[in-house]
A = this chain, B = another copy of it.
Amino acid sequence: MQNLLVELGERSYPILIGTDLYDRSEALHAFIKGRQVLVVCNTTVAPLYLERLLAALSEFVVATVILPDGEQYKNLDHLDRIYSALLEHRFSRNCTLIALGGGVVGDMTGFAAATYQRGVRFIQIPSTLLAQVDSSVGGKTGVNHALGKNMIGAFKQPQAVLADIDLLKTLPERELAAGLAEVIKYGLIRDLPFLAWIEANMPLLLARDPDTLGEAVYRSCQNKAAVVAADELENDQRAILNLGHTFGHAIETGLGYGKWLHGEAVATGMLMAADLSWRLGWLAQDDVLRVRRLLLAAGLPVVPPATISSDQFLDLMAVDKKNVDGRLRLVLLRGLGNAVVSEAAAPDLLLQTLRAGKALGEVVA
């Protein structure tokens, strides 16, 4: 088992990474205070893993909420189910919430923990690769709004994250790939050696070799934790973690939540960001094609949906939260392994990227 500390002063917490981990009583008990525990899960994960977790919690007063599975349910209405369960069971400020599921369950449970009685404890047990490498580090919690993704939320750090590689055995292939998109992101934004490691180990990652997956999770969380520790509330540098996300959110919102997985949208978004960086003269064309090859090797989409016009893209990107006072700020690459937050992209270059379609990274006559 590997143990990584996210350094955030009073709010520091450990990420435990390993196998045979999530239902180990002593690991859980170390982070629960009080006697009341609410486990939040979803309809996909619950049949697979909930029973073993509940068995490990037998000495607590435990309630469960099982949410429908999918980004389209990450909203205030479904959040209310968590509040209602807490209130129906008369849980006090001294209760602990446990999120057993992917990013949606983690984000919603974290936000409920941030806001139930103005804040209670919570523990993350991420069941997807994406949640293990992304949503479980950084304290971003929240829900979507019909008018924008992740627009309602809070910063809330968990007591601990238990990243159990065993849970990835049952992950659908598409979701494994979506998680790899975020793994690749850490290489692209700040860790070129890790990028090369991912390229070399892609076959083992796709074969779900536990040691290789564990290493990918560890190095991803390490990168994310370093960025978050330097800028917990995303005033500045932390925004590089959003590489591909402004484009990606536009894809998710434009298609309607749940059509593309978040990681899939981010993958294509990262290629769009790389393409735009190349058009700015910041990245070699070969680098853009290298990004594309790696995304394809992971089984990720590299062509934005044709149903979203460039005008729609612009419209959707303008409400994205990476804008200050209406100016379009994007995460771009000044070379592979070196992301920057920049307003340098002129509208005409951005339009070239938005119009490139399947020819991202290519000169179109």
> Which residues in A have some Cβ–Cβ distance to B below 8 Å?
34-36, 76, 80, 83-84, 86-88, 90, 92-94, 114-119, 140, 142, 145, 147-148, 151-155, 233-234, 318-319, 321, 323-326
Contact = CB atoms under 8 A, between A and B. Distances in A.
Contacts of A84: 145, 147
A340 to B, nearest CB: 19
Contacts of A88: 147
Contacts of A119: 154-155, 233
Given A76-B76, A83-B147, A87-B147, 4 more contacts: A115-B142, A117-B151, A118-B140, A118-B142
A326 B83 contact: no
Interface class of chain A by DSSP? mixed
Contacts of A233: 118-119
Given A94-B325, A145-B84, A152 B35 contact: no
19 contacts: A34-B324, A80-B145, A83-B152, A84-B147, A87-B148, A88-B147, A90-B318, A90-B326, A92-B325, A92-B326, A93-B321, A115-B115, A115-B154, A116-B151, A117-B151, A118-B153, A118-B233, A119-B154, A119-B155
Work out how many copies of this chain go into the complex: 2
A34 to B, nearest CB: 6
A345 B94 CA distance: 21
Contacts of A145: 80, 83-84, 87
Contacts of A83: 145, 147, 151-152
A71 to B, nearest CB: 17
A151 B112 CA distance: 11
A76 B87 contact: no
Contacts of A35: 325
B325 A117 contact: no
